Structure 1
């Protein structure tokens, strides 16, 4: 019953997500057929209706999830309304204030309804608001190292605090904890980069080592394998970055490469021991849980070990291959060292192919080093015969390996080497991909003649998944409609076939390829925003109708009693939040309408650009002549470029308003003068809050060519809105 309920909830969620995405795309297309009130009224009615729907569903048995989903959609709609108002009145695109207000509403919703999606939404919006506050998309802010470090360190601290709050059960959400953990470690690694922050990198190098040590100790004590995996991945990234820094900072001599080889060897050996240790850990929950929980834990540990193994092999290969190449070149002091590299690569490859009893991590790391050195030198020397040798080695390793993961790795290596060899012969990427695409189904089909076992399974699925991947690459390389249509048909046939055969993994992966193909190749590159809006609306409606029909037909009885779900969302506070959201939107609309109706008309000369907002659609970014009021006349007596500022603009004989002076309260405005509020940006630039003008999708370049002036409405308090762009003064 839980699985059935999960399926229905997933259907409703996907349907609502499609409809909300349709709403965002519709307004992002900036459809010119609607006036301001035709945009505002429906979206505010929708916001209120979604809250009413959540209250109604909260009073019905078995509808707790849908009640929360409706309330979550209400919160999303509030954000869309903010976006639409900003777009309509040409407020800042992707302004930090917009996301901050939306985040505040999400936090209030999260406090009233204890549901993780609200927390996740609040986290995403809060992070966007924080980032855009310090790094706005208008202009370029050049921070000193200390300032940039402070900004990033504060963000790391906030994420560390969030992770602590989730760990201590003061906040809920596994996703929030994992994301905060990832951001915290990523920022610490970034700050330890000696090229970006040379004077302070050593401090953060120490901080990174201490942080990783704390994580390892903490997660070993808890037997927390997922976070041990995450820590291992971050340590791997950190080690590669440090190796590259050392390689570029210091003279790469013999001693350096010898130490690098020793480090690579120790890393590979230590990784092998570490993986054995992680495999031996059994979380307390698994030891005390039931059979299902034990099986789930076992499967999770299996995948964790795989990822750790691949990560260790990758890091060891990168460091070991570079170190060995440098060592051999310096030791032999040859002008043409390719023969030595070919010999070393071939020796390592053959030796590790034969050493079947060696620890898998050590063996595969050394084998990967040999393949990288050998294949790279053979390509550089155009030695096609040697490439065939490495291809045979990979084929043998695929045949005699024991695990599916190892076989998959060597199959991928064999396909890559075969592609390189064919490219050296044909010098045509499309032909190479076409040949390999045709070969993969044959390999998959040949599994029928192999005895049952992991080798049979590896042939079938490696060939099948490689076929899907190579065919997808072929559609991009060829840019031919025939390949696109054929791939689309083949994918649908594979999806139907996998479903009929009951192959759940193949069905999911193939459906993923189909989704990637449709959305990446066509939906994101060919279709306009309005087309996406209508198609998503259709998909959303179909999903909701089909889910509702299936639920009515097959669901036996509600899973929740009416008394269990009655009323958190019907509380007075929840209604107050929704009313406050509507009032906030109304105030913003009223304020902007007042400026447009009563503000003084000012014409400013501009220079437009043409980017796209994250959620609001296309706009032209405006740079005014009054944005740099002092130009080259900057002197020591000019005020500091920070904080808020007001300027006096005076009408010139041509009708264009120009900068006259900075404004203070003691100045008396003259006829033909207005005060315009702004704030300082870097490079002696003032930002007035009128730097964006939203346009229908695809029209930005036309505006860029024709617009020369902006008609701006300025209120008596100095606030302003862009009314329209003009090719000439009226």
Structure 2
């Protein structure tokens, strides 16, 4: 009975996710047939409608889950609405303020309801707001090195503080506790890269060491094997990063000779660490089991969990050791020994290393598999580089032999995946078509997964299943972007149907690993289809809306047919709880904030002065607002910038005075505005922000357009018509050819 209730909840989640995706896609498409009023009314209806549905469901017995889900949908709709206002009035694309405004109600909902989706949403929105505040352009690091380092350090402090709050129980999210732990250590590793931070990276190795030491001490103090495992993995990642830095810096004969000793010490140290993990017995009273990520893994007993940790550590050390060893051997062959044809030497070494380690059963397991994997990597890499298909087939045969004769689940998974990768190279060499190769691999992997169900020996069945299913999903998912025409729609429908079926069946049969992989790819499909240009957002929106309605309809039908109640009717809880009045006020504040921004913008459009500016457009896509044209104006670099180096490099607020150029209606820069000065009848004041060498930004640099029309605007738009208020605020109205 309980499993049926979980299935009903899952049906509502899948349906709601499809509907919310449809809503986001629809407004991001910027459908030109809708005017401003026709865009705003539906979003207000959605925000208030989902909230009203949440209130109604909270008064129904056993509907706590659906009440929370409806309130979450209202919060998502608010975020879409904020983006829609920016799109309609052409304010900043992907502005930090957009995500900050959305973050505020999300984090308040998280505090009030303690529901995990709000915590995750708040975490994502907070990081987006933080990143875009300092780096408005995606991927741009225009700040000075010291400032950029401080920004990264601030992010590390934020994540570290959140981890402490989760640890102390001030906030409640085991998942985000684990995420903030990983994020903090990852950021410290990034900050220590000397080739990114040339002046400070070397010194940042000290806080990196301190952070890693603190992570190990925390794991030991709390006796948490999960956190000990990941602390060990981050130590290995840091060592690998430092090794690559040293290769780039030195790469001489002495370095590669010393590197051999380093690899030996690295493997030896990890052998000692794994022996320590095997022998470690955390006391029951100090263990964190039952309170965080580790609890779900330790249900099978400490012995099984320890074996799992040792397996993960073993495979991690083998992979990292193989990478280090491969780099070292390449350096020895090319730099130290100076062979004329190093590819043949590497192919030969790889062949001998794999064969030798297959036969050396009594050799230390870490050293044995490290040498074997490094030989496989070097040999196949050299064969691919020199297009020797015969050698690739030989290596493919060796990986299959290793899969059959070597023991261990992780080992067999590793060599299964290696064989698939080598097979992909062989097929591509024969066919020379990425789509064809992926199609063949997807079909083969599906057959292996289906056929693997009937393998009697679990020692072979489990690695085949665990390897083939995620690989099949990845291959088919890739095809949904790469294919064209009829095959494009076939792969998309096939992927959607198979993943949805896998989610429902695996949940019903309690096959957790299939459910987790399928759910992950379901979310990826919903998110990444936004960036798939082969299918318009409007069409995706309609499709996902139909799918969401069908899923919810089927779920309701099944629920009524079986007479199920999704929550415990004997102990009902109100979805809004004792905070219902605070939540009601929060929803009203969201609606009021949106209404205020709309009213302010409409007033400016009605009473502002219309001016025309000369421009040069580009064509990117906003994260949630759809396609837009990025504009740069002639007044972005006025004469005072061109003639004054100090002025050009300065930052801060500025106001300029614009006026028409002679008989032309195009407004140009006249002077910098001085507080209190009187303007001529034909002049306007325009507020801006100095951006250093990037010129002045006026907040009218983005013009949102219907999907797929960017190229037209790039080619034809020469001027922008802007409404400017008396106090210097501006709204971009339209782009024109003349």
TM-score by length of 1: 0.89
Tell me which moved more, 563-572 or 614-623: 563-572
Given candidates 619, 623, 627, the residue that maps to 2:632 is 623
Deviation at 1:379, TM superposition (A): 4.8
Give the 3 Å change call, closer, same or farther, for CA 554–376 of structure 1 in structure 2: same
Question: In the alignment, which residue of structure 2 is the partner of 1:230?
Answer: 230
Tell me which moved more, 588-597 or 375-384: 375-384
What number of residue pairs does the alignment pair up?
Answer: 727
Question: In the alignment, which residue of structure 2 is the partner of 1:37?
Answer: 37
CA distances 1:494-518 after superposition (whole Å, capped 9, x unpaired) = 9989969979479659967996997
Give the 3 Å change call, closer, same or farther, for CA 22–301 of structure 1 in structure 2: farther
Distance 1:726 1:236 in 2: 57
Distance 1:426 1:58 in 2: 59
Give the 3 Å change call, closer, same or farther, for CA 630–341 of structure 1 in structure 2: same
Question: In the alignment, which residue of structure 1 is the partner of 2:720?
Answer: 710
Tell me which moved more, 377-386 or 670-679: 377-386
CA distances 1:348-367 after superposition (whole Å, capped 9, x unpaired) = 22221112233433221111
Deviation at 1:120, TM superposition (A): 2.1
Given candidates 623, 635, 640, the residue that maps to 1:614 is 623
Question: In the alignment, which residue of structure 2 is the partner of 1:259?
Answer: 258
1:537 aligns with 2:545: yes
Question: In the alignment, which residue of structure 2 is the partner of 1:671?
Answer: 681
Q: Is the 8 A contact 1:47 1:77 kept in 2?
A: yes
Give the 3 Å change call, closer, same or farther, for CA 161–555 of structure 1 in structure 2: farther
Question: In the alignment, which residue of structure 2 is the partner of 1:695?
Answer: 705
Q: Is the 8 A contact 1:472 1:517 kept in 2?
A: no
Deviation at 1:194, TM superposition (A): 0.7
Distance 1:511 1:154 in 2: 35
The alignment partner of 1:212 has SS state of helix
Give the 3 Å change call, closer, same or farther, for CA 450–504 of structure 1 in structure 2: closer
Distance 1:25 1:476 in 2: 17
Distance 1:335 1:703 in 2: 54
Q: Is the 8 A contact 2:65 2:575 kept in 1?
A: no
1:128 aligns with 2:138: no
Give the 3 Å change call, closer, same or farther, for CA 303–550 of structure 1 in structure 2: farther
Distance 2:332 2:70 in 1: 64
Q: Is the 8 A contact 1:58 1:569 kept in 2?
A: no
The alignment partner of 1:62 has SS state of coil
Tell me which moved more, 646-655 or 266-275: 266-275
Distance 1:428 1:570 in 2: 58
Give the 3 Å change call, closer, same or farther, for CA 495–360 of structure 1 in structure 2: farther
Question: In the alignment, which residue of structure 1 is the partner of 2:459?
Answer: 454
Question: In the alignment, which residue of structure 2 is the partner of 1:242?
Answer: 242
Deviation at 1:65, TM superposition (A): 1.7
Distance 2:200 2:361 in 1: 46
Q: Is the 8 A contact 2:719 2:736 kept in 1?
A: yes
Give the 3 Å change call, closer, same or farther, for CA 593–301 of structure 1 in structure 2: farther
Distance 2:606 2:532 in 1: 39
Q: Which runs of 5+ in 2 are unaligned?
A: none
Deviation at 1:574, TM superposition (A): 2.1
1:281-680 alignment to 2 at 5 Å? Answer: 281=280, 284=284, 294-295=299-300, 302-330=307-335, 332-337=337-342, 340-379=345-384, 386-420=391-425, 452-455=457-460, 458=463, 481=486, 485=490, 504=511, 508=515, 524-556=532-564, 559-561=568-570, 564-565=573-574, 568=577, 571-630=580-639, 633-635=642-644, 638=647, 641-652=650-661, 653-680=663-690
The alignment partner of 2:74 has SS state of helix
Distance 1:682 1:727 in 2: 30
Question: In the alignment, which residue of structure 2 is the partner of 1:721?
Answer: 731
Q: Is the 8 A contact 1:55 1:570 kept in 2?
A: no
Question: In the alignment, which residue of structure 1 is the partner of 2:77?
Answer: 77
1:24-173 alignment to 2 at 5 Å? Answer: 24-137=24-137, 142-173=142-173
CA distances 1:36-88 after superposition (whole Å, capped 9, x unpaired) = 11221222132222222222222222112222222222222221211111111
Tell me which moved more, 393-402 or 448-457: 448-457
The alignment partner of 1:397 has SS state of helix
Give the 3 Å change call, closer, same or farther, for CA 526–166 of structure 1 in structure 2: same
Give the 3 Å change call, closer, same or farther, for CA 299–535 of structure 1 in structure 2: farther
Q: Which runs of 5+ in 1 are unaligned?
A: none
Distance 1:92 1:640 in 2: 23
Question: In the alignment, which residue of structure 1 is the partner of 2:200?
Answer: 200
TM-score by length of 2: 0.88
CA distances 1:389-408 after superposition (whole Å, capped 9, x unpaired) = 43443232212122232122
Distance 2:111 2:51 in 1: 16
Distance 1:669 1:317 in 2: 71
Tell me which moved more, 204-213 or 334-343: 334-343
The alignment partner of 1:721 has SS state of strand
The alignment partner of 1:201 has SS state of coil
Q: Is the 8 A contact 1:712 1:724 kept in 2?
A: yes
CA distances 1:551-593 after superposition (whole Å, capped 9, x unpaired) = 2333555515577438636643222222211211111111111
Distance 2:480 2:78 in 1: 40
1:274 aligns with 2:299: no
Distance 1:493 1:684 in 2: 49
